[in-house]
Chains A and B, each alone.
Chain A
Amino acid sequence: MTGKTDTNIKQTFANIVTDYWIVLVFLGIYLVFVILEPLCLSLPFWGSTFNYMAEILILGVGVMFVVITAGIDLSIGPVEGAVGVAAGLTIRSLLPVVGNGWAIIAGSAVGLLLGLLIGFLNGIVITKLKLAPFIATLGMSVILTGTGYILNNGLEVVGLPRVMGKIGNFTIMGFMGFTTIIALFATVVFGVLLKQTRFGIHTYAYGSNAESAKRAGIDVDKHIIRVYMISSGMAALSGVLLVFRFNTGSPLAGANVTLYAIAACVIGGTSVMGGRGRMIGTFIGALIIAILVTGLVMLGVQTYWQQVSTGLIIIFAVYADQIRQKKALK
């Protein structure tokens, strides 16, 4: 009997290691940073890591739904930029009429609705015009980059109420910023949506075998449209939060983050072939990307090395995941 319990414990331990090995990778990286620079233990270090992580995480949480359906959304970065400019312009033009509070609320609402609309359009192009998600969202991303510049003649929207910056840079306990709190909240909410609801199951089912999902009576077109609305909606949320944080609406916002958000999902074990992925993985993925930036800055290494190391980790993580899956199929 004891022998059996022993193997059970071993088995359980092995399962935890294979399931959560990416957490160990994160801890390993952090340990190296701490050994080389003990200041990495400090709260401010975590504060800036979280700050950097928040944007990638919000985008990652949204785009993850798309990736699980075996799709991709290349427009999330440009959504941030275009939404930021649109929200900023709305706020500035409403300011004299309705005052700070309502202008900010209206501007944020316009930004979020714009994001949902863009996601809806992506979904329509993919499901009704039958374009590959890569092409549909590539087109959308170029359109939005242009739109972001057109809206304000290529300039940043400045002159927004200062109170926005106060809200956007509000922190609790000295390290948890406003955006971070929202990012963590969103991670939990969408994690529950993915894991506990029909919507989540249908998302996995479509990515696992679209034909099966269709035959099971799932309205797959409607589902896919909603998935792209989540992706784009979260990008819009991130865009609005950037306006708060920097007190400007910049068309340049989101220029480089699309692939980082997708990378966060992939590092966390979401399969680009669809059907697999966990929210905790995306969180750890975003955290790894962020800690590489802050950690390398602390060590005085050129931040460009962060890109190199993130790239290496993407390849390493996906390779390790492949091996893990092959083992599971044996």
Chain B
Amino acid sequence: MGEPILSVSGVYKSFGHVQALKNVSFTLNKGEVLGLVGDNGAGKSTFIKVLSGVHKKDGGSINYEGKEVDFASPKDAIAAGIETVYQDLALAPDLPIYSNMFLGREMVRPGLLGKLGFVDKQAMRDSVLTNITKLKATLNHVEQEVGTLSGGQRQSVAITRAVIWGKKVIIMDEPTAALGVEESAKVLDIVNEIKKHGITVIFISHTIPHVMEVSDRICVLRLGETVADLKTSETSYEEVVQFITGSKTQINRK
């Protein structure tokens, strides 16, 4: 703790006349969970897309692991160790769990067969199984097609995939939005497990209780601006809501 991994200051971004981000700033330490909250249109998704390399920022600075970064494509962000779990999960429903987790980065067999593109299914299954166990995700059968899983299980697949690849930062966009109470609880458990392994998480959500439950810090966006950067232990549900709705506007209480 205490070592900053990501420090964002004054990031802005416009689409034509619409200024989606005006001034996003926060600092995130290694191994922390940041809850990124805000009303619809506050700029959460736009900011995430900037951070994950989908959009380029127009200005401001993003300092990642002590270096100024400006990702030109999602590939750059992924190469830097930042993985994003999108709201739509980006899974292939007809493929088994393990293929989904290795999609685009399949393990190949050693030697000539590997050069010809032959995949090592057993190695992938084993690796997936190890990671599922590590995160205590409730997925029993790595051969099961993702299309036959429940919403929470699909979320677990997408998150586990991010953990396998995102060695440093995982961004989760509304991971509990479509889930029932029990399944949400499982996803929050997984977030807590991820934290134990020293991985930094940015957790975007509308559901403030979920954010309160897993986050170390909360960054509130309103109309494209950071209006509060709070320690979860020093704030309350009511205060966060007040910042979101704009009835409270004090900035950056440290």
Residue of A nearest to B75 (CB): A217
> In the complex the two chains form, what is the Cα distance from A204 to B93 in whole Å?
10
> In the complex the two chains form, what is the Cα distance from A208 to B146 in whole Å?
11
CB distance from A320 to the nearest CB of B (A): 18
Interface residue from A196, A205, A328, A329 paired with B119 (Cβ < 8 Å):
A196
Chain B residues near A211 (CB, 8 Å)? 88, 90
Do the beta carbons of A201 and B95 come within 8 Å of each other?
A: yes
> Can you list 26 residue pairs at the A/B interface with Cβ under 8 Å?
A197-B118, A197-B119, A198-B119, A201-B95, A201-B106, A204-B94, A204-B95, A205-B92, A205-B95, A207-B94, A208-B92, A208-B94, A209-B90, A209-B92, A211-B88, A212-B92, A215-B86, A215-B90, A216-B103, A217-B75, A217-B105, A218-B104, A275-B93, A275-B95, A328-B145, A329-B148
Chain A residues near B92 (CB, 8 Å)? 204-205, 208-209, 212-213, 275
Q: How many A-B residue pairs have CB under 8 A?
A: 69
Residues of A within 8 A of B (CB): 196-199, 201-202, 204-205, 207-209, 211-213, 215-218, 274-276, 328-329
- The answer to whether the Cβ of B91 comes within 8 Å of any Cβ in the partner chain is yes
> In the complex the two chains form, what is the Cα distance from A216 to B92 in whole Å?
10
Interface residue from B74, B118, B148 paired with A196 (Cβ < 8 Å):
B118
> In the complex the two chains form, what is the Cα distance from A208 to B103 in whole Å?
12
Chain B residues near A201 (CB, 8 Å)? 95, 99, 103, 106, 119
Given A204-B95, A212-B92, 4 further pairs, Cβ under 8 A: A205-B99, A211-B88, A216-B103, A217-B74
- A197 and B99 in contact (CB under 8 A), knowing A275-B94, A329-B147, A329-B148? no
CB distance from A14 to the nearest CB of B (A): 16
Interface residue from B93, B94, B104 paired with A216 (Cβ < 8 Å):
B104
> In the complex the two chains form, what is the Cα distance from A74 to B17 in whole Å?
45
Do the beta carbons of A328 and B148 come within 8 Å of each other?
A: yes
